[in-house]
Amino acid sequence: MARLNAENLATANEILSRYPVKKSAMIPLLHLAQEQDGYVADDAMAHIAELCDVTPAEVVGTCSFYEMFKRHEVGTYLVNVCTNISCMLLGGEELLHRLEDKLGIKHGGTTEDKMFTLEDYECLAACTEAPCMQVNYRYFHRIELDEAEKVIDDLRSGARTDIPPHGTLGKVRQHIPTGRSAGIVPPEQANEAPVWLPAPTPEGEGS
Amino acid sequence: MSNGYVAHAAGYVDNEGPKIVSSRFVHEDGHTLARYLETGGYVGLRAALAKTPSQVHDEVRDAILLGRGGAGFPAGIKWGFCPPGVWPRYLVVNGDESEPGTYKDRLLMECDPHQLIEGCLIACYALGLSQCFLYVRGEMALAQERIAEALNEAYAAGYVGKNILDTDFSVDIVLHWGAGAYIVGEETALIESLEGSRGMPRLKPPFFPAAIGLYGKPTIVNNVETLSNLPWILENGADAYKRYGSEASPGTRLFAVSGHVKRPGVYEVEQGVTTFRDLIYGDNFCQGMREGHDLKMFIPGGGSAPWFFEDHLDLPLEAKPVGAAGSMLGSGAIVIMDDSTDAVQACLRVVRFFARESCGKCTPCREGTTWEEQILRRIYDGHGRPSDIDMLLDVADNISPGPYPAAADPSQGLEAVPFPPKQTTICPLGPSSVAPIVSALRRFRPEFEAKITARASIPVSAG
C-alpha cells in the first residue's frame, strides 16, 4: 500500500508541529499510517522517515518494537482476548478457545475473509471486569462465551457498526487552535528560564 | 448495575469514604469541561497561580504526595532534583498503565481528564516546565478520545496554552499515544519511546530523568494518579490532605481489586488506615471471597509484586510495612486468588507476561525470563523433570542474585529482606519475573513437586 495521502499528510504535519524534535512524532505517525491502510505499509514507513528526518531503517526499528503496529495485513477487526492473571482466574483462556473454535483459527491468525484477527493478549487494564476482550481496542467487559460469539456474528453480518476498522484509535484528535500555542521550539532554542518564574534567589529555586 | 457499581465507569465502586481523585466518577459527563467547572474544576489552578511557583512546590512537598506509579517516591522531593538553571524542562505524564491487575489510571483519564490536565498545569507552573507530554497507553482508545476532547476544550477556554487565565504562565500539553509495550511504563523507556525510539530503559546513573531526560534536558516523569491529586491539594492545602491516611502516607489511593472476590472493583481507599483484610472482607469493599472458597494467596501490588498469604492480611495498605514484609504496593493492583487456583498455572501466567514483555536489552532478563517460562510450562504440562525446581531458582538467581524478599520466612529461619531485590539488569522487569516464582515455591512447593513426580494427565492449554 501507500504513502500517506494528502489529507493524512496535512494531519501528519499538524502532529509534527506539536513536537520540539521531529523524531518524537514517529509513533503517532505510524498510528496514522495504520489508520490509513489497516496496517503499516513499507511505503508509509519510508514516507514517515522523510517527514521525521530519519532513515527508513530507524522507522522500521521503532515500528517493529511495538505490539500494536502490524507490518502485514490483518483483519478488519482485531479481537484481543486478555488471558493475563485476573482474566485467567475468571475464564479468559476459555474465552480465547471458544473464539478460536468460532473463527476456525488459532490465536495470532486471521480468518480467510480477512474480517477477524484473533490475539492472545496481555493485561488490557479492565481486571475487575474479567474476563474482558477488546475489538479494535474497544472494551467488552465481563463477557460471557455466548455473548462473545454474538459480537463476532454481529460484526460479520454488519448488524453492528459502532466499531471503526482496525487502525483507527481515538476518533477525536487534539487540535491546538491557531494563536493559542505557548510556542513549541527545539530544546536548544528554549534555553532561558520561563517568564513566569521569579528571578533566582541566592538559595536557588527547585531545591 | 446497582451495588455501588457505576455503569459508565465500569469497574469503579462508589463506596463510602473520602474521595480526593474519584469524586467525579459518579457523573456520566464528568469528563466534560462544563461538569468539571460546576464541580470545583480549575479552582486548584487558580489557587496555584495566586502563589509563587516555589510556594506551590512547598505545598506539594508538605503534603508528602507519594508517587502512585509503583515506586512510591515523594513527588515533592522528586521535583527538587532538577538541576538549577538548566532549561528547558519538560513534564512527561506516565499514562502507559499496563501492569497486570492495574487500571486506576485508565479510569482517571476516561472519567476525569480535566483533573489530570489541571494537575499537569500545576506541576508545570511550580517547576517552570515549558511543555507537557501526556503519554497514554495505545490500547486505551476511549482514554485518548476523552483526553483529546478535554484538551481541545481547555485550549479553547484559555486553561491551556498561551497566557493561561491571562497570566504570564504559558504551557502546551500534547497528547501522545503509545503503541503497546509494557516496558515503556519504566520512566527512562518512556522517554526513549517519546523520542521516537524503541522503548528500552536507559542506565541510571547517569540518565536520571530529572537531570538528563527528554532530549537530554531535565524532565519530570509523574504518574497519572499522582498528578490528579494536585488540584485537590492546591485547593484545600497540604494540612487538609494530611488529615487523610497515615502520617507517612497521607491521602487516599485507588486500588483495583480483582479475582475471586464477591465485589471486585476500583476503590478509593485511605492509605495506611485500611488493611488488606478490610479491603477483601469489608462490607464497604469487596465483601469477602466468593461463596464456598477460601483465600489461597493474593498479589498486593501488580504482577511484579511478590505474593502475600493469609498471614499478611492485617498489614495496612501502606508502602513501608508492605515493603518490610517483602513485597510492595506497587501500582495499586490487588489480585485475589482462592483455593481453586493452581499455583503453578498462576505462576506460569505471570512469568509468561514478563517473558513476552522483556525488551531484550539485558541478557539475564531476555534469556532468563524465557527459560523461566519454558521450565514452568513443562512442569505445568506434566513434563517436568526432578531438576527443574533447582534450575528455575538458579535462573532466577542470575536475574536477581541473593535472597529474594519474598523468600523471607521467619518460621524457616530466613530473615526478612525488604523490597526491592538486587538485580543484574538495568530495570526491574527481570527481577519482577522472579517474584511469582519465589513466592509460589516458598508456599506451594509440594504442588510443583506433585506435578513433576506424578506426571498427571493435565490438560495441555494452548497459549
CB-CB neighbours of A50 under 10 Å: 11
**Helix axes B429-454 and B363-380, enclosed angle (nearest 10):** 20
> Which DSSP string do the residues of B347-399 spell out, in sequence order?
HHHHHHHHHHH--S-SHHHHHHHHHHHHHHHHHHTT---TTHHHHHHHHHHHH
Same domain, A101 and A138: yes
CATH of the domain at A31: 1.10.10.1590
B280 in contact with A, Cβ within 8 Å: no
- Whole-angstrom Cα distance, residue B327 to residue B312? 10
Does residue B254 contact residue B274 with C-beta atoms inside 8 Å?
Answer: no
Does residue B338 contact residue B289 with C-beta atoms inside 8 Å?
Answer: yes
- Whole-angstrom Cα distance, residue B124 to residue B122? 5
Across the range B223-237, mean pLDDT stands at 97
Find the residue in B nearest to A173 (Cα). Answer: B148
Q: In this predicted structure, what is the pLDDT of residue A201?
A: 60
Question: Which residues, in sequence order, are bridge partners of residue B308?
Answer: B298
Same domain, A131 and A81: yes
Q: How confident is the model at residue B418 (pLDDT cuts 50, 70, 90)?
A: confident
Number of domains in chain A: 2
- Whole-angstrom Cα distance, residue B279 to residue B15? 11
Give CB contacts under 8 A, 24+ apart, made by A11-15. A11/A173, A12/A48, A12/A51, A13/A51, A14/A175
Does residue B359 contact residue B367 with C-beta atoms inside 8 Å?
Answer: no
Does residue A140 contact residue A148 with C-beta atoms inside 8 Å?
Answer: yes
Q: Which helix (H) or strand (E) holds B336?
A: strand B333-338
For the cut 70, the answer to whether the pLDDT of residue B244 exceeds it is yes
The reply to whether A109 falls in a domain is yes
Across the range B224-235, mean pLDDT stands at 98
DSSP state, residue A25: G
A84 in contact with B, Cβ within 8 Å: yes
B193 in contact with A, Cβ within 8 Å: yes
pLDDT tens profile A109-165: 999 999 999 999 999 999 999 999 999 999 999 999 999 999 999 999 999 999 999
- Whole-angstrom Cα distance, residue B165 to residue B177? 28
- Whole-angstrom Cα distance, residue B351 to residue B344? 10
A36 in contact with B, Cβ within 8 Å: no
Q: What is the mean pLDDT of chain A?
A: 94
The reply to whether A197 falls in a domain is no
Q: In this predicted structure, what is the pLDDT of residue B1?
A: 42
- Which residue, among A22, A89, A118, would best test binding to B if mutated, counting the most B CBs under 10 Å from its CB? A89
In sequence order, which residues have a C-beta less than 8 Å from that of residue A168 and are 6 or more positions away?
A35, A136
- Whole-angstrom Cα distance, residue A32 to residue B147? 18
A115 in contact with B, Cβ within 8 Å: no
- Whole-angstrom Cα distance, residue A117 to residue A98? 14
Does residue B280 contact residue B261 with C-beta atoms inside 8 Å?
Answer: yes
Q: How confident is the model at residue B415 (pLDDT cuts 50, 70, 90)?
A: low
Interface of A with B in 145-164 (CB under 8 A): none
Q: How confident is the model at residue B220 (pLDDT cuts 50, 70, 90)?
A: very high
Across the range A41-53, mean pLDDT stands at 98
- Which residue, among A27, A39, A120, A178, would best test binding to B if mutated, counting the most B CBs under 10 Å from its CB? A27
Q: How do beta strands B295-299 and B265-270 pair?
A: unpaired
Q: In this predicted structure, what is the pLDDT of residue B378?
A: 96
Q: In this predicted structure, what is the pLDDT of residue A152?
A: 97
CB contact under 8 A, B177 and A23: no
State the smallest CA–CA distance between residue B413 and chain A in angstroms: 31
pLDDT tens profile A172-205: 999 999 999 999 999 999 999 999 998 766 554 4
User: For residue A94, what are the domain limits?
Assistant: 77-157
Nearest-CB residue to B196 (from A62, A88, A169) = A62
Give the type of residue at B11. Answer: G
User: Could you give the angle at the alpha carbon of B370 between the alpha carbons of B368 and B376, nearest 5°?
Assistant: 100
For the cut 60, the answer to whether the pLDDT of residue B127 exceeds it is yes
Q: Minimal CA–CA distance to A118: which of A81, A149, A145?
A: A81
Nearest-CB residue to B101 (from A58, A86, A137) = A86
Q: Characterize A142-158 residue by residue with b for buried, 16 or more Cβ atoms within 10 angstroms of its Cβ, and e for exposed.
A: bbeeeebbebbeebbee
- Which residue, among B142, B258, B286, would best test binding to A if mutated, counting the most A CBs under 10 Å from its CB? B258
CB contact under 8 A, A139 and B10: yes
Same domain, A57 and A81: no
Same domain, A108 and A44: no
For the cut 60, the answer to whether the pLDDT of residue A75 exceeds it is yes
Same domain, A90 and A152: yes
CB contact under 8 A, A127 and B337: no
Interface of B with A in 160-189 (CB under 8 A): 161-162, 167-172, 174-182
Does residue B123 contact residue B221 with C-beta atoms inside 8 Å?
Answer: no
CB contact under 8 A, B98 and A93: no
Q: What is the mean pLDDT of chain B?
A: 93
For the cut 90, the answer to whether the pLDDT of residue B463 exceeds it is no
- Whole-angstrom Cα distance, residue B247 to residue B273? 10
In sequence order, which residues have a C-beta less than 8 Å from that of residue B23 and are 6 or more positions away?
B39
Same domain, A86 and A148: yes
For the cut 50, the answer to whether the pLDDT of residue A206 exceeds it is no
pLDDT tens profile B285-340: 999 999 999 999 999 999 999 999 999 999 999 988 998 888 999 999 999 999 99
* Residue B326 CB burial class (10 angstroms; 0-12, 13-18, ≥19): buried
Same domain, A110 and A152: yes
Q: In this predicted structure, what is the pLDDT of residue A207?
A: 42
- The percent of residues in chain A predicted with pLDDT above 90, rounded, is 92
For the cut 90, the answer to whether the pLDDT of residue B414 exceeds it is no
Domain boundary among the residues A157, A183, A202 is at A157
CATH of the domain at A131: 3.40.30.10
Same domain, A54 and A106: no
> Strand ranges (DSSP E) for B97-239?
131-136, 172-177, 219-223
B145 in contact with A, Cβ within 8 Å: yes
CB contact under 8 A, B101 and A179: no
Give me the sign of the Cα torsion angle A152, A156, A157, A162: positive
Domains in chain B, start-ordered, CATH in brackets?
19-241 (3.40.50.11540), 252-338 (3.10.20.600), 343-454 (1.20.1440.230)
Q: In this predicted structure, what is the pLDDT of residue B403?
A: 79
The reply to whether A47 falls in a domain is yes
Does residue B318 contact residue B295 with C-beta atoms inside 8 Å?
Answer: no
